[in-house]
Structure 1
Amino acid sequence: MALVTPQARAWRTRRTPGPANPRPVDARPANARLATALTGAGVALVPWMLVLAKTVPQTAEVSNWATAWIGLDLMLAAGLTGTGMLLRKGDPRVSPVAAATAALLVTDAWFDVTTSAGTGGQGMALLLAAGAELPLAVVCAVVAARRRG
């Protein structure tokens, strides 16, 4: 957990057995299982990507296209605003908010550039990605990394 201090984590795993505490608490086996499950999920995506590469059409007409993009921009606005407000307060919760915002910014840049390929809007998408979205993502990632608890 990002909000648990290293001292608290160390205390949790170093407690000695006694009458009030029959066994020391050790979160490592649960973390190992979770790590295995997450790694397995990532590896399982590789064959799925191959299926998608063969079966997804190159073009498609999309319903609610504006709603999807407005929703992403709404999440970006909330993430950037939240990151700024939490950073100003020195709130440790800024780290996960900044990390999520960085991921959203990279995602936005990726989809802007890839969905505009071969259109008149590709230049603007590249400009926004290089000049705004990716630099902001780096700033948010640095905030997230520096503010870890």
Structure 2
Amino acid sequence: MTLVAPHFRARQLGARPFPGRRRAPRLATVLTGAGVALVPWMLVLAKTLPQTTEVSNWSTAWIGLDLMLAAGLTGTGALLRTRDPRASPVAAATAALLVMDAWFDVTTSAGTPEQGMALLLAVAAELPLAAACAVVAARRAPHGQGQGQGRGQGR
């Protein structure tokens, strides 16, 4: 009986095979609604935000982002080295942070002498690293129930 898949074993015992399964459509609706609700908000921001502004804690914001990038990149590398299945979500988050970093570097440097360096770093470093992390995330994502059942993680 222990070799039977959990959902079959649950059916035999009269339990619901996948508890909490009904929550996924509700969550999907909430997330989709939140994404759609951002569209009119972006229009409001486009019309009301100033083109320039002075920002306090500018260096703290950028150092914090770079700290998260350093943690994500070294964490992904360390998890890959040990073939840990948690490399996938860490790599996915790191890819998103790298794309965000490239976007903000390029857009905030527009029209300044630093724009060339921002574009170079985006094209030569941040976006290629983001693509590599996205590949890691996609290839190592679990494809079954439970930890360790993604590609290369079978038993």
TM-score range, shorter chain: 0.7 to 0.9
Name the count of aligned residue pairs: 138
TM norm structure 1: 0.87
Q: Which residue is equivalent to 2:153?
A: none
Q: Structure 1 residues 22 and 136, CA, compared in 2 at 3 Å: closer, same or farther?
A: closer
Does structure 2 conserve the Cα–Cα contact (< 8 Å) formed by 1:98 and 1:143? yes
User: Equivalents in 2 of 1:47, 1:78: separation in Å?
Assistant: 34
Over the residues paired in the alignment, what is the CA RMSD in angstroms?
1.6
Among candidates 99, 109, 115, match of residue 116 of structure 1: 109
- Match for residue 128 of structure 1? 121
Deviation beyond 2 Å, 4+ runs, structure 1? 10-15, 21-28
1:58-137 alignment to 2 at 5 Å? 58-137=51-130
Higher relative contact order (CA 8 A, sep 6+): 1
Write out per-residue CA displacement over residues 88-134 of structure 1, whole angstroms, 9 at most, x where no aligned residue: 00000000000000000000000000000000000000000000000
Secondary structure (helix, strand or coil) at the match of 2:11 reads coil
Unaligned runs of 5+ residues in structure 2 are 143-155
Residue pair 1:95, 1:148 contacting (<8 A) in 2 also: yes
Q: Percent identity?
A: 76
**How far, CA to CA, are the matches of 2:39 and 2:9 in structure 1?**
39
Which letter maps to 1:49? Answer: M
Asked if the contact 2:106–2:122 (Cα under 8 Å) also holds between the matched residues in 1, the reply is: yes
Relative to its length, the structure with more helix (as a share) is: 1
- Kept in 2, the 8 Å contact 1:113–1:125? The answer is yes
1:17 and 1:24 in contact (8 A); partners too: no
Relative to 1, partners in 2 of residues 1:74 and 1:23: Cα closer, same or farther, differing over 3 Å? closer
Correspondent of 1:16 among 6, 11, 20: 11
Unpaired runs of 5+ residues, structure 1, are: 1-9
Q: TM-score, normalization: structure 2?
A: 0.84
